[in-house]
Amino acid sequence: MFTPFEAKFVRIRPLTWHDAIAVRFELIGCDEPEPIQCTEPLGLAADLPLESIEVSSNNQDRKYFALTAERGWRPLYSTPGEWIMVIIYI
Per-residue pLDDT of the chain (90 residues; tens, 9 = 90+): 567 677 777 777 777 777 777 777 777 776 666 655 666 777 777 777 888 888 888 888 888 888 888 888 888 887 777 787 777 665
Q: What is the pTM of this model?
A: 0.60
pLDDT score for 73: 85
pLDDT score for 64: 85
For residues 84 and 12, the answer to whether their CB atoms sit within 8 Å is yes
For residues 43 and 89, the answer to whether their CB atoms sit within 8 Å is no
pLDDT score for 1: 54
Sequence spans of domains, the chain: 9-87
